[in-house]
Amino acid sequence: MKIALAQINYHIGNFESNVEKIKTAIRQAKDSGADLVVFAELAVSGYPPRDFLEFDDFINKCQQAITDIATKCKGIAAIVGSPTKNPEFHGKNLFNSAYFLADGKVRNVRHKTLLPNYDVFDEYRYFEPNKKFSIIEYKETKIALTICEDLWNIGHDPLYTVNPMDELIGQEPDFMINIAASPFNYNQHQTRNCILKKNVKKYGIPLFYVNHVGAQTELLFDGGSQVIDGNGQLIDELSYFEEDFRIFDTNNLEPSQLPKPIEKYPADNIKIGLIHDALVMGIRNYFQKLGFTKAILGLSGGIDSALTLVLAVEALGSENVLSVMLPSQFSSDHSVNDSKTLIENLGSPAEIIIIEEAYQAFEHSLKPIFKNLPFGLAEENLQARIRGVLLMALSNKFGYILLNTSNKSEAAVGYGTLYGDMCGGLSVLGDVYKTEVFGLARYINSEKEIIPENIITKPPSAELRPDQKDSDSLPEYDILDKILFQYIEQRQGPKELIEMGFDEAVVKKTLKLVNTNEYKRHQTPPILRVSPKAFGMGRRMPIVGKYLA
């Protein structure tokens, strides 16, 4: 049997576009002699549809789409993911399903058994788990059809009490097909390949795997669809961060001679290369799917805004990203000059607005109420908020989306100003630690200097008071980021951190800053997720909690 894998960038709720892409792939597969073409989990609706699933109209449109797609499946079969209605009175109203379409109609429907309800996943909120197991027979071939998480209950610490493939293997399938919506993080390609190979090793039959590609707000999908033969050998892997299409013959699964997608990244810097491409895709898709074309950002002369600008230019084109320099009386000359050099390197438009006059106007208005109290945090934050107001005014006037430039280290410890440098429509670096920001800048400059060297090497500073440096308020970033990573990603407590050799006072101060600044993170823009534990929907903490605060 010839099986086509169609790795497609879907758009949540855009039924016309999703269906047309699916039909186009069906035609391509049929014209190429394929017997079956496979699409991803919830392909019709896009993933994750979230509370759209609570609308009958949305579900009806999914059903209409399946009926429409089925009419194109003559002389070829297709597997297409879609929500379906649960006819039973008890349980959730929907299943997360895979449709097997052939002969112009729905031939079979298989439902997802294991519904993830952790990190960014909320599937048990909407779907009823499957409890019946049967293979699909087509052209004298037996197919074990599963959906994403159904293959992930195979590690040393299983989350579920049932394993779908344990139920299906007794029916002697010839191969497995798994349709997935598995979000990206910088470790995911390794984790995914390991899990899929464990399944092949356990069950001894080939596996065909199709994943989503593209960005859905903060969730990024890297693709990486693949085929593994019955001996556990990777036959081929589809592109990362791009749509792709490939056909395989089950009777002749030979390893591809083409370079694997992961090999395009430097062997010693795969993580940074993946993060770079994920962020560029995330920015591009966010704008495309919202129907916007132009971005704006405040360019401070620091490395975070410089990196954000470079990524945005790569995603949207230099002519579509406006940089605004907003120097105050505390801004250094080199910050403005470094920004100008970067803008020249990119060929990107820019404006400069000096905020000192606006700051003095606010200072004059507040003077009777501030009662001659000394300059402090209020005055520092006032500068950041003036910048935020000006950037949002330009956004409103000209239809730009404001890109937030704060990094994960700053977001973690609250080193940012609400309604000032924390405002924006999309947070590009909110899941990228400061040390990773430096790594990305070096990666971008690996062939030629795009980000001026002085931006990378000078001590980080908010420049809100004379001679200010980030290290005045925070531990050095190489120490801070290690503590934050162990606490946020690895869930290590203060005792464990101190035992690792971190200074006790620094640990306690850092964890207190993280936990007492949850209220700020609840008010930030959506953050492009590149790590296994990002701020946002995947990390849910109480604002008023007392733990470590």
Residue 480 domain flag = no
Percentage above 70 pLDDT, the chain? 99
Q: Which of 415, 448, 470 is the last residue of a domain?
A: 470
73 classed as catalytic: no
Confidence at 536, pLDDT banded by 50, 70, 90 = very high
Answer whether residue 471 shows pLDDT above 90. no
Q: Which of 439, 470, 501 is the last residue of a domain?
A: 470
Confidence at 463, pLDDT banded by 50, 70, 90 = low
Sign of CA dihedral 376, 381, 383, 384: positive
Sign of CA dihedral 151, 146, 182, 83: negative
pLDDT digits (tens, 9 = 90+) for 366-389: 999 999 899 999 999 999 999 999
How confident is the model at residue 329, as a pLDDT? 82
Please, are residues 63 and 101 in contact by the beta-carbon 8 Å criterion? no
How confident is the model at residue 115, as a pLDDT? 98
**Of the candidates 315, 389, 303, 312, the residue with the CA atom closest to the CA atom of residue 339:** 303
* Helix or strand run (H / E) with residue 514: helix 504-516
pLDDT digits (tens, 9 = 90+) for 39-59: 999 999 999 999 999 999 999
Please, are residues 230 and 277 in contact by the beta-carbon 8 Å criterion? no
* Helix or strand run (H / E) with residue 483: helix 477-488
Give yes or no: residues 400 and 354 share one domain: yes
206 DSSP assignment:
-
User: What is the span of the domain harbouring residue 159?
Assistant: 2-251
Q: Which of 251, 281, 304 is the last residue of a domain?
A: 251
Q: Which amino acid is at 512?
A: K
CATH number, position 214:
3.60.110.10
Give yes or no: residues 281 and 369 share one domain: yes
How confident is the model at residue 268, as a pLDDT? 87
Residue 346 domain flag = yes
259 DSSP assignment:
P
Please, are residues 109 and 99 in contact by the beta-carbon 8 Å criterion? yes
Which residues, at least 6 apart from 507, have a Cβ–Cβ distance to it below 8 Å?
A: 483, 494, 497, 498
Inter-CA distances, 235 with 5, 152, 255, Å: 13, 20, 4
Residue 518 domain flag = no
How confident is the model at residue 328, as a pLDDT? 84
Distance CA 233, CA 273 (A): 25
148 classed as catalytic: yes
What's the rounded mean pLDDT across residues 187-214? 97
Confidence at 163, pLDDT banded by 50, 70, 90 = very high
Confidence at 216, pLDDT banded by 50, 70, 90 = very high
Q: Which of these ranges, 103-117, 188-202, 224-238, 454-468, has the smallest mean pLDDT? A: 454-468
Give yes or no: residues 119 and 213 share one domain: yes
Residue 259 domain flag = no
Answer whether residue 445 shows pLDDT above 90. yes
* Helix or strand run (H / E) with residue 411: helix 408-413
Give yes or no: residues 246 and 340 share one domain: no
- Ordered alpha helix ranges (H), 238-269: none
Give yes or no: residues 195 and 274 share one domain: no
Strands 226-228 and 295-298: unpaired
CATH number, position 444:
3.40.50.620
Percentage above 90 pLDDT, the chain? 91
The one catalytic residue among 62, 73, 148, 423: 148
Residue 523 domain flag = no
pLDDT digits (tens, 9 = 90+) for 257-279: 888 999 999 888 899 999 999 99
Please, are residues 120 and 533 in contact by the beta-carbon 8 Å criterion? no
Burial class of residue 123, CB neighbours in 10 A (0-12, 13-18, 19+): buried
**Of the candidates 211, 251, 258, the residue with the CA atom closest to the CA atom of residue 234:** 258
Q: How many CA atoms lie within 13 A of 1 on its CB side?
A: 21
Residue 339 domain flag = yes
pTM (predicted TM-score): 0.95
How confident is the model at residue 334, as a pLDDT? 77
How confident is the model at residue 473, as a pLDDT? 75
Inter-CA distances, 226 with 207, 232, 308, 444, 511, Å: 8, 12, 32, 29, 41
Confidence at 462, pLDDT banded by 50, 70, 90 = low
In the three-class reduction of DSSP (H, G, I as helix; E, B as strand; rest coil), residue 351 is classed as strand
Answer whether residue 360 shows pLDDT above 80. yes
Give yes or no: residues 247 and 277 share one domain: no
Answer whether residue 138 shows pLDDT above 70. yes
Residue 102 domain flag = yes
Give yes or no: residues 193 and 296 share one domain: no
Give yes or no: residues 326 and 200 share one domain: no
pLDDT digits (tens, 9 = 90+) for 409-439: 999 999 999 999 999 999 999 999 999 999 9
What's the rounded mean pLDDT across residues 220-229? 98
Give yes or no: residues 168 and 278 share one domain: no
Give yes or no: residues 281 and 238 share one domain: no
Strands 226-228 and 234-237: antiparallel
* Helix or strand run (H / E) with residue 416: none
504 classed as catalytic: no
Give yes or no: residues 246 and 274 share one domain: no
**Strand order, beta sheet including 77-85:** 105-111, 94-102, 77-85, 36-38, 2-7, 244-249
The one catalytic residue among 112, 289, 294, 408: 112
Please, are residues 450 and 444 in contact by the beta-carbon 8 Å criterion? yes
Residue 402 domain flag = yes
pLDDT digits (tens, 9 = 90+) for 61-96: 999 999 999 999 999 999 999 999 999 999 999 999
Which residues, at least 6 apart from 333, have a Cβ–Cβ distance to it below 8 Å?
A: none
How confident is the model at residue 257, as a pLDDT? 85
Distance CA 227, CA 205 (A): 11
Give yes or no: residues 182 and 154 share one domain: yes
In the three-class reduction of DSSP (H, G, I as helix; E, B as strand; rest coil), residue 188 is classed as helix
Inter-CA distances, 225 with 23, 110, 256, 352, 477, Å: 19, 20, 14, 46, 36
Distance CA 446, CA 295 (A): 26
Distance CA 137, CA 143 (A): 6
The one catalytic residue among 41, 123, 128, 436: 41
In the three-class reduction of DSSP (H, G, I as helix; E, B as strand; rest coil), residue 138 is classed as strand
Arithmetic mean of pLDDT over the chain: 95
Phi-psi region of 410 (alpha: psi -120 to 50; beta: other; left: phi over 0): alpha
pLDDT digits (tens, 9 = 90+) for 296-339: 999 999 999 999 999 999 999 999 999 999 998 877 667 889 99
Looking at the structure of the chain, the number of domains it has is: 2
